[in-house]
Amino acid sequence: MTMVIKRSAATKLRNLLALSGAGTVVFTGICVYKENAKFYSSVIMPTMHKILEPETAHNLAVTTLERRLLPKSKFKDPENLSVNVFGLKFSNPVGIAAGFDKDARAACGLWDIGFGFVEVGSVTPRPQPGNDQPRLFRLSEDQGVINRFGFNSEGHDVVLARVKAIKAANPKAILGVNLGKNRTSPDAAQDYAQGVKVFGPLADYLVINVSSPNTPGLRSLQGREELKKIIGTALEARSQMTRKVPILLKVAPDLSEDDREDIALVVNTKEWQIDGLIVSNTTTSRPKNLESKWQAESGGLSGRPLREKSTQTIREFYKLTQGKIPIIGVGGIFNGSDAIEKMQAGASLIQIYSAMAFEGPPVVTTIKAELSRAMAHNQVDSLVELIGSDHRMQ
C-alpha cells in the first residue's frame, strides 16, 4: 500500500516537474517571439552568462542567427529613421559592428532582428586562428567586454563565397566588409588592397581597420605616412575597378590630439580622401571606476566604459573634417539616448556590439523605437537634423 502511495507521489512530482518545465519552455518561447526586452536582459542573458563561457555563448549566438532560429522583428522601421549615407539608403541607422560576425555566417539572421546594416569581418587575406583562448571576458558589473581575439578569420576565400551567396539572395540589404591584415604579413598595404579587389565588386562598403589593439603594430598604421601608403594603395586598387565601392577607415579611441590631426590631414586631402570614418574601435585604457575582476586582462575594452571616450573622439573628428566625411559612431551604445548622443556629436550612422551580449537581440528594436519616439517628441523630422547638431548649437 505504502509502495503504491510512494509511487503515485513520485509520478505526481515527475508530472509536476514536466509540466513546469514545459511551462517554462512555452513562456520563454513566447517572450522570445514577442522580443521581450526585459525578459532577455534579466533572465535569458544572465542565465547564458552563468552557464556558458563568453566565447561559447558568442558562438551559440552566431549559430542561432546563422540558422535563423529567431523570429523576424515585428518592428517596422518608421520613415523618420531612414537616412542616405555613402549613396545608400538605410531604412534605419543601427548596424552590427565588426567582430560579431567575423566570417559572414549570420548576416541574414542579423537583418531579421532589425539591423539596418551588417558589417562582417575583420577578414584577413589568409585564414588564421587568432590568439589562444581565453580571449574574451565579460565585465558584467561594468557592462563591458574585453577581447583579445587577434583577428581569428577564415580568410578571404571562404568569406567571399559566403558574401556572394548572401548578396545574391539579399541584393538590397546593406552589407559592409571590414578588412584586416594577417599577423605575419610583411606588407599591410597589400593586404588591405587585396581586400579591396576581392570584396569591392560585392560589398556595399569596405572598412580599412587599422585600430584593433590585438595585432602587433596595427595601430601604428594610423600614423601619417603609413596611412597615406595604406589608403593610397587601397584607392589605387579601387580605381582599377568598374564599381566605386565606398571605403571607410576605422580608428581607435586612444589617439592623441596630434594623432587625430594627422589622420584628418590625410583624409581631408583629395589624394587620400576616403568615404567615411568609423569611430571607434575598442580602447586599451582602463577607466579607474571599473569593478569587474577581469579588468586587468589585456585586450580592447568595449561597452559602457567606452561610451564617453568614443563620443568625444567622434566630436573631435567631426570638427577636424568639418562634417564633410560621414562618421559611423560606435562604442557603448545601449539605448536610444546613447544613439542620439553619438549622432549629435557627429555620427550619421551607429553600430553596436557589446550591448548585444548584455541585452540580447531586442536591444536593436529598443534603440530604434526610443530614437524614433524621441525625434517625434522633439519635432525632429529627419536624422539629418540630428547629425552633428551639437556643433551647430555652439
The kind and range of the H/E element at 363 are helix 362-377
- Is 121 in contact with 180 (CB distance < 8 Å)? yes
| Binding flag, residue 333, ligand FMN (CB under 6 A) | yes
> Of the two residues 80 and 326, which places its CB atom closer to ligand FMN in the complex?
326
Choose, from 212, 280, 310, 354, the residue flagged as catalytic: 212
Site residues for ligand FMN, window 218-247 (CB under 6 A)? none
Judged on CB neighbours under 10 Å (0-12, 13-18, 19+), 259 is middle
> Of the two residues 128 and 282, which places its CB atom closer to ligand FMN in the complex?
282
| Binding flag, residue 309, ligand FMN (CB under 6 A) | no
Locate 228 and state its grid cell: 597615406
State in angstroms the smallest separation of the CB of 27 from ligand FMN.
30
| Binding flag, residue 329, ligand FMN (CB under 6 A) | no
> Of the two residues 247 and 355, which places its CB atom closer to ligand FMN in the complex?
355
185 catalytically annotated = no
Question: In the chain, how many H helices and how many E strands?
Answer: 15, 13
Residue span binding ligand FMN (CB under 6 A) among the ranges 27-35, 141-149, 266-274, 340-348? 141-149
Residue span binding ligand FMN (CB under 6 A) among the ranges 35-43, 73-81, 95-103, 256-264? 95-103
b/e per residue 327-342 (b: at least 16 CB within 10 A): bbbbbbbbbbebbbbb
Strand 117-123 versus strand 175-179 pairing type = parallel
- Of 302, 311, 366, 372, the residue at the interface with ligand FMN (CB under 6 A) is 302
> Of the two residues 80 and 252, which places its CB atom closer to ligand FMN in the complex?
252
Place of cell 573631435: 316
State in angstroms the smallest separation of the CB of 19 from ligand FMN.
40
State in angstroms the smallest separation of the CB of 305 from ligand FMN.
9
- Is 263 in contact with 108 (CB distance < 8 Å)? no
| Binding flag, residue 303, ligand FMN (CB under 6 A) | yes
Torsion sign (Cα): 348, 353, 357, 360: positive
> Of the two residues 52 and 380, which places its CB atom closer to ligand FMN in the complex?
52
Transcribe 163-207 into DSSP letters. Answer: HHHHHHH-TTS-EEEEE---TT-S-HHHHHHHHHHHHTTT-SEEE
2: Cβ–Cβ under 8 A, 6 or more apart, which residues? none
Name the CA dihedral angle for 120, 123, 128, 130, rounded to a multiple of 10 degrees.
-60
Q: How far apart are the first and last CA of the chain?
A: 87
- Of 40, 66, 86, 102, the residue at the interface with ligand FMN (CB under 6 A) is 102
> Of the two residues 80 and 212, which places its CB atom closer to ligand FMN in the complex?
212
- Of 41, 128, 212, 366, the residue at the interface with ligand FMN (CB under 6 A) is 212
| Binding flag, residue 294, ligand FMN (CB under 6 A) | no
Locate 44 and state its grid cell: 535569458
Distances in whole angstroms, Cα of residue 237 to Cα of each of 198, 201, 296, 366: 10, 12, 41, 40
Site residues for ligand FMN, window 176-195 (CB under 6 A)? 178
Interface size with ligand FMN, residues (CB under 6 A): 26
- Of 93, 95, 99, 360, the residue at the interface with ligand FMN (CB under 6 A) is 99
Locate 255 and state its grid cell: 589617439
| Binding flag, residue 332, ligand FMN (CB under 6 A) | yes
- Of 145, 234, 339, 343, the residue at the interface with ligand FMN (CB under 6 A) is 145
Of 258, 241, 261, 306, which Cα lies nearest the Cα of 280? Answer: 306
179: Cβ–Cβ under 8 A, 6 or more apart, which residues? 121, 122, 123, 191, 192, 195, 196, 199, 206, 207, 208, 209
- Of 44, 352, 369, 383, the residue at the interface with ligand FMN (CB under 6 A) is 352
Residue nearest to ligand FMN (CB): 99
| Binding flag, residue 282, ligand FMN (CB under 6 A) | yes
State in angstroms the smallest separation of the CB of 17 from ligand FMN.
38
| Binding flag, residue 128, ligand FMN (CB under 6 A) | no
Cite the active site residues: 212
Q: State the residues that interact with ligand FMN by CB under 6 A.
A: 97-99, 102, 122, 136, 145, 147, 149, 178, 209, 212, 250, 281-282, 302-303, 306, 330-333, 352-355
